Amino acid sequence: MISILIVDDNEETRRGIRKTLVQEKNMIVVGEAVNGEDCIQRTADVRPDVVVMDIEMPILDGIQACDVLTKKYNDLAVILCTMQPTVEKMQQCLAAGAKEVLFKPYDANELLAAIRRAFDRTPHPEEKQAGKLPAEIVAVYSPKGGTGVSLLAANLALAYSLRRKGKTLLLDYDVHYGSGALILQLPPNRTIAEWVQEEVKDEDVFRQYVMTHKSGLDFLAAPFSPEQGDLVDGDEARTILKFANSLYEHVVIDVPSKITEVAMVALEQSTGILLVVSTDILAVNNARKAINILRELRFLGKVRLVLNRSNVGSIGVKDNEIEEALELKISHFIPSDGRLTVASINTGEPLVLKYPKSDIARAVFAIVDPPPGKTKQAGRKTPFRLQAGSIRSGG
């Protein structure tokens, strides 16, 4: 299995590369970055095998970032991409330590072949080959309560469990008001609150706190009461994620709306953040404030914007107004269907299991594994399809 970090300041290019890679059984995308400086930080966080990076980017360009990375990590392969097919540009890339250089436009087969060649030509320490790849950790977060984060997180985790290979864990880190157990109809005997009071914390003890849903999804529940939630601090949250990272291939975290120590750990340790916003102006305003914080923390490169209840029509803030206010493109649209949602919660049958062909379930599945050439929502075309053509966006 080859772990890959995608680096490009063009969102459509990153999305196109990801669509190609998610279809490969022996490749996994462990993160994205939007410039060279962001790439250096993300590489330190997720330690990929291969970095696929554009050259022309703001703040720090790809060649400069490649030079830093290859001097620091001898087990890292960097593939640089450029729209300038010149001998001089090729020499600059190779001098910086790049294993491969791709000239745009290139197709999916060229990209996949370059990744395999670069990986094969890079030394890999025995301990890294013998060890497990880092888990894909997705934090589902909204700075405003009531935007559907818990329902989305539970159904997203189920979608991972159903569609992706490997084991999936849902972590309810809303330690004061978590509702994952209710949504899944999994009344816990023990929760995170009891875990933090264990004298010995190892993988065997951790497994005793994990419950398994009938679908095969594993689940770690939030405390029973807000008072018990006070027992859980950032260190405990980090320890839990350490065990989750070693035992699972996919982890979905239900993050509380308030930026607590636990929430900060979830956002920091995640390989991707789904920032959920709805079409009311209060949610948009809170999301704008959250994006400013995420930008200061240098987490913005791994954020994807999710518009929940996206089909409310003229009564809500328009899509383009939300994107303009947040300076961020909407990556995923989740429609509203109160009838199915209420029925799902009341019966304890999650949407992706009870109504897998519904528009909501299809939208959730699309986050996990968006089919090439499909739209996220009726009338919304995906503008960039790597499989059907070639990479032309960006530098």
Instruction: Quick: pLDDT tens for 308-363.
Output: 888 776 677 888 899 999 988 999 999 988 888 888 888 888 988 888 899 999 99
Element (H, E) at 252: strand 250-254
| Percentage with pLDDT > 90 across the chain | 41
- The full set of domains in the chain, from first to last, is 2-130 (3.40.50.2300), 136-356 (3.40.50.300)
Q: How far apart are CA 1 and CA 123, in angstroms?
A: 15
Quickly state the pLDDT bin for 377 (edges 50, 70, 90): very low
Per-residue burial over 176-190, b if 16 or more Cβ lie within 10 Å, else e, is bbbbbbebbebebeb
Strand partners, 349: none
pLDDT score, position 109: 87
* Joined tokens for residue 252: 């979905």
- Give the separation between CA 332 and CA 304, rounded to whole angstroms: 8
pTM, entire model = 0.63
Span 153-164, pLDDT tens digits:
999 999 999 888
Beta-carbon-side half-sphere exposure of residue 78 (alpha carbons within 13 Å): 29
- CA contacts within 13 A on the Cβ side of 377: 17
Residue 28, CA distances (Å) to 69, 134, 169 in order: 20, 10, 17
Q: Does 372 have pLDDT greater than 80?
A: no
Q: Please give the mean pLDDT across all residues of the chain.
A: 85
| 66 pLDDT higher than 90 | yes
Q: What is the structure's pLDDT at 390?
A: 32
Of 146-160, 163-177, 186-200, 373-387, which gets the smallest average pLDDT? Answer: 373-387
Residue 370: predicted pLDDT: 54
What are the pLDDT digits (tens) for 277-320?
998 899 999 999 999 998 888 888 889 999 988 877 667 788 88
